[in-house]
Structure formats: C-alpha cells, structure tokens
Homo-oligomer: A and B are copies of this chain.
Amino acid sequence: MTTKQRSTKQGAAVRDALRTSGGFRSAQDVYAVLRGDGGSVGLSTVYRHLQSLVDEGVVDVIHNADGEATYRYCGDTGDHHHHHLVCRRCGRTEEIEGRAVERWAGEVAAQHGYAQVDHTVELFGVCPSCTRRRR
C-alpha cells in the first residue's frame, strides 16, 4: 500500500478532460480530445490513468452496447453507491440513487438464496435538450 502517487501534468490532463466532459467517454475519446488540445499524451498513458482513477473510485466505468469501456468522472460522489441516467444522444449524464432499487435487489437475491449480491443498473434515454433539438 506504499503507492507513492506522483502528480504529473498528464495525469491532471486526463482527469480534467473527463471532469469537464460531464458524461461517459471512451478511452479513445479522451485520447482524441487531449491530442486535439495540442497536448502530447500517449494512448498508454490515457489508459493507465483511467484505470487508476477507477481504482481510486473517482471514476465509474460502464460498457456500451459495443462492449467498449466508457469512463465518467464522479468525484466526491465516488465513495457512495449510485447509478446513472445517460443521454444516448449527447452522452450527458445524471447521477441518481435508488434506495428502492437497492432494497429490491437485496430482496430478490435473498428469495433465491444468492449471497454476496452486487448489481448494475443503468438508465438510457434522450435528455431534454436533445429531445428539443431534434425529433
């Protein structure tokens, strides 16, 4: 556990790119953005930082329909369990928590005798802005 974390500009760049994005982005997206901003980051570095951010718990991951991993900065809320409502058009994301769902999941699992239950719950839709903009 003696992981000496060194703070580098690349690390900050990746974190900021995700934070300002506000939604779920793929590693390749982040890489493209950073490259577009003129910065010179390596693809390996992007993947590396995304992974450690996930380990730290400040970033959430979900796999899209293609199985591609997408990351989202969830900062402080990272320590408590929550889910997402993602706009499938623009990627905008709302954090939601479902007391009800948590309870339900626990009950269902118990009924079937399953232990050590974990769950994934994600909602996808079209956000107000996108709904207004296009039809």
Measured CB to CB, the residues of A under 8 A from B are 63, 67-69, 85, 87-88, 94, 96, 98, 100-101, 104-105, 108-109, 112-128, 131
Contact A127 B113, CB 8 Å, known A101-B101, A119-B121, A122-B119: yes
7 contacts between A and B (CB under 8 A): A63-B67, A104-B104, A114-B123, A114-B125, A114-B127, A115-B125, A121-B121
Other 16 A-B pairs with CB < 8 A, given A118-B124, A120-B122, A120-B124: A63-B63, A67-B67, A67-B69, A96-B112, A100-B104, A104-B104, A105-B123, A109-B123, A109-B125, A113-B127, A114-B126, A115-B126, A116-B125, A117-B123, A117-B125, A119-B123
User: Separation in Å of the A129 CB from the closest CB of chain B?
Assistant: 9
Known: A63-B63, A63-B67. A108 touches B123 (CB 8 A): yes
Separation of A118 and B100 alpha carbons in the complex (Å): 18
* Cβ of A130 to closest chain B Cβ, rounded Å: 9
Min Cβ gap A19→B in Å is 21
Give Cα A68 to B119, complex, Å.
Answer: 17
Give the one of A121, A123, A131 with max B CB within 10 A: A123
**What 7 pairs between A and B have smallest CB-CB spacing?**
A114-B125, A117-B125, A113-B128, A67-B67, A63-B63, A119-B123, A63-B67
